[in-house]
Amino acid sequence: MSYFDAASAAPLHTVARQALLAALEDGWADPSRLYREGRKARMLLDAAREAAAEAVGCRPDELTFTPSGTRSVHTGVAGALAGRRRTGRHLIVSAVEHSSVLHSAEVFEAEGGEVTQVPVRRSGAVDAESYAAVLRPDTALACLQSANHEVGTVQPVAAVAEVCRAAGVPLLVDAAQSLGWGRVEGDWSLLTASAHKWGGPSGVGLLVVRKGVRFAVQGASDERESGRAPGFENLPAIVAAAASLRAVRAEAEREAVRLRELTARIRARVPELVPDVEVVGDAERRLPGIVTFSCLYVDGETLLHELDREGFSVSSGSSCTSSTLTPSHVLKAMGVLSEGNVRVSLPTGAAEADVDRFLEVLPGVVAGVREKLGAPVPVAAVQEDVLVVDALGKRCPIPVIELAKVIGTVPVGGRVRVLSDDEAARLDIPAWCEMRNQEYIGEEPAEQGTAYLVRRTT
The closest alpha carbon to 195, from 72, 69, 50, 54, belongs to 69
Q: What is the DSSP letter of 37?
A: H
The closest alpha carbon to 319, from 333, 300, 294, belongs to 300
Beta-sheet strands, E only, within 317-438: 341-345, 379-383, 386-390, 415-420
Is residue 433 part of the annotated active site? The answer reads no
Question: What b/e string do you get for 304-328 counting C-beta neighbours within 10 Å, with b at 16 or more?
Answer: bebbeebebbbbbbbbbbeeeeebb
d(CA 52, CA 34): 24
Contact 421, 450 (CB under 8 A): yes
Residue 1 CB neighbour total at 10 angstroms:
9
d(CA 342, CA 151): 10
What's at 252, amino acid-wise?
A: A
Contact 76, 173 (CB under 8 A): no
Contact 128, 167 (CB under 8 A): no
CA 324 to chain centroid = 16
Question: What b/e string do you get for 352-378 counting C-beta neighbours within 10 Å, with b at 16 or more?
Answer: eebbeebbebbeebbeebbeebeeeeb
For CA atoms 292, 295, 301, 305, give the dihedral sign: negative
CA 88 to chain centroid = 29
Beta-sheet strands, E only, within 353-447: 379-383, 386-390, 415-420, 439-445
Q: Is 162 strand, coil or helix?
A: helix
d(CA 230, CA 52): 19
Residue 219 CB neighbour total at 10 angstroms:
9
The closest alpha carbon to 348, from 56, 55, 10, belongs to 10
d(CA 381, CA 432): 22
Contact 279, 267 (CB under 8 A): yes
Q: Which of 143, 164, 320, 433 is catalytic?
A: 320
Angle among Cα 408, 414, 418 to the nearest 5 degrees reads 75
DSSP β-ladder status, 439-445 and 415-420: unpaired
Active site amino acids: 320
